[in-house]
Amino acid sequence: MDSINLKNYFFYFASFVVIIAGVKMSSQVVVILFLAIFISSIFSTLLKVLQKKHIPRLFSYFIILLIVVGIGVMLAYVINISLNDFLTNLPTYEEKLKNTVLDLLHLAQNAGIQIDKTKIMGALNFNSFFGFTTNIIGSIGTFLSKFLLVVIGVAFILAESKSFQTKLRVIFRNNAKKLEHFNLFSFNIQKYFVVKSFTSFLTGFIITIVLTIFGVDYPILWGVIAMLFNFVPVVGSIIASIPAILLTFMNLDINITIWVIILYVVINISISNILEPKLMGRELGLSPLVIFFSLIFWGYILGIVGMFLAVPITMTLKIAFDSNTSTHWLGILMSDLSRKKVKSLREQKAADSI
């Protein structure tokens, strides 16, 4: 019996490796497919709301497509215009950064600290300070150029959504429990994407206002970057804040720079650690360890876009596991559960067994 189980595990592992290899080889197509599915999950909720308002389905359908296209065009326009202007002024910013470092080294020497300016300036690669940011923004811009395919995918998925529900009822007509599990899975997925999209937009909007008040260059661009990188937990907010903080440091005084850093921290902590868990529910939280390895794994499989999709994909898997009693234990392993929550789960399991 044990040898049979061991063979099954090897079979599952080999199948997993083959599937992942296939996903990596077809990553460009898979990314478009995943994004179309995720965007459809968000806007299918809006489609239901419009239909409840007694707006004809066809008209609601076209309204949603116009919203999706409008958001894509707006993001592409903002990133393209701001990035071109930013790249034009990049040599000026690099020179300012170099002069700022020289001034700091000069102050340190006046304070009696022995510093070899030549070695430090030689070790610092000023081109790389903004190079990483421009590469990431460039990757996002390149992907947005393929957004038409995503929109077409969204259009077809939303068009099939009503008939898909009918198909599910036919498939599970003799098993109401499986249909209930799938409906729970769909509801939690939509809830996650709607909440995450809202909190990401709120993060970008507030940061844009803050940077505008302090007179930082390209506040809309950095707000859009903060919104997009809010989908990348932990490291996303740090990466998104670097270019804005550097520009503040070079063009304004140190007090304003400190305020911008503090506000970045407060905004991200307030939204990601306080507001988001309240709206989403702790049971939909992911373990930090799972988040970390999902970023590495999906970033390797799908590239830079995979880092944005890492948590949504992993969250989808977790919700799928949670929605089925036979795989619920896997969902618990992936969860960020407190001791109180674990205790309540044990009590619930004990009550169910009685």
- Residue 206, token pair as written in the block: 């507030």
16-75 residue pLDDT tens: 788 888 888 888 788 888 888 888 877 877 887 887 887 887 888 888 888 888 887 787
pLDDT, position 24: 84
Residue (of 298, 291, 339) closest to 315 by Cα position? 291
User: Is the Cβ–Cβ distance between 55 and 69 less than 8 Å?
Assistant: no
pLDDT, position 106: 73
The size of the chain, in residues, is 354
User: Is the Cβ–Cβ distance between 321 and 331 less than 8 Å?
Assistant: yes
User: Is the Cβ–Cβ distance between 233 and 291 less than 8 Å?
Assistant: yes
pLDDT, position 141: 57
CA distance 278 to 280: 6
pLDDT, position 93: 72
Residue ranges, the chain, pLDDT below 70? 1-9, 109, 111-112, 114-145, 172, 174-176, 178-179, 181, 234, 252, 280-285, 323-324, 337-354
CA distance 142 to 158: 25
Question: Alpha carbon of 281 to those of 40, 260, 336: distances in Å?
Answer: 22, 30, 11
pLDDT, position 25: 84
3-state secondary structure of 286: strand
CA distance 93 to 251: 9
pLDDT, position 20: 84
pLDDT, position 209: 92
CA distance 195 to 305: 20
pLDDT, position 120: 64
pLDDT, position 340: 46
pLDDT, position 317: 80
pLDDT, position 1: 46
